[in-house]
Amino acid sequence: MQIVEKFLYKKLQQQNGKTRTYLTPEGESLPSVTTILSKTKDKSGIRQWRQKVGEQAADKIMNEASQIGTALHLYIERHVKGKGYKDISEIGVQAEKMAQKIIDEGMKDIDEIWGSEVHLYMPGKYAGTSDMIGLYKGRPAIIDFKQTNKPKKREWVQDYLMQLAAYAQAHNKLFNTEIDQGVVLMCSRDLTFQRFELNGENFNRASDAFMKKVDLYFQSIL
């Protein structure tokens, strides 16, 4: 695995208000991919879960998941850059174990890294941050790292797969590439590693599904 500066990736200004937006070089304020997915998602299941476990417990679980996710990404980013990182808190120790599992079992299939924490946007539509872009199993790909409390089935990660497709299409638009695959590398609290690959017809379906959500999002804010 080697770092190759194949493209000039520029940072976008992030704006966090009621919704997360990015300011493009052209001066457009665009909603994030995760904002679009969140605003167009059926949240009945989440509401039922919150009612079942209680609001306070639900907030605690979601806050811990967010902290572990942030720490996990930081561990992986520092690993890629050859820099050490240590967090001896309970959450930090858990995140390090999960990150190392992804590094050991998932990143061995990454041949080149073109960039990490890459800001991308589709003019007039959306923007976001891809965890990693590079060669996965010899082909250009969008690569995302995820933490989860418990192992997931593929049908439960459709939003993650749409994220991959959205970032791939944005990269293709900005850099005239033809990225048509992505992969989610995931680890759960019990250190179960999973990978969810997106390619072929599944990639096309995820791209179409996300663009429908983009249209739905903009219709809802008119």
Domain spans, the chain: 2-221
Tokens 């194949």 locate to 6
Q: What is the predicted pLDDT for the residue at 220?
A: 85
Q: What is the predicted pLDDT for the residue at 222?
A: 60
Evaluate whether 96 touches 129 at the Cβ level (below 8 Å). Answer: no
Distance, CA of 214 to CA of 219 (rounded, Å): 9
Which contiguous run of DSSP H or E holds residue 3? Answer: strand 2-3
- For the segment(s) 2-221, the CATH number from 3.90.320, 3.30.300, 1.10.10, 1.20.120 is 3.90.320
Q: What is the predicted pLDDT for the residue at 196?
A: 97
Distance, CA of 131 to CA of 119 (rounded, Å): 9
pLDDT tens over the chain, length 222 residues: 778 888 999 999 998 777 789 999 999 999 999 999 999 987 667 777 677 778 787 777 778 788 888 889 888 988 888 876 677 788 889 999 999 999 999 999 999 999 999 999 999 999 999 999 999 999 999 999 999 989 999 999 999 999 999 999 999 999 999 999 999 999 999 999 999 999 999 999 999 999 999 999 999 876
Q: Residues 6 or more apart from 28 whose CB is under 8 A from it?
A: 121, 123, 124
Evaluate whether 164 touches 142 at the Cβ level (below 8 Å). Answer: yes
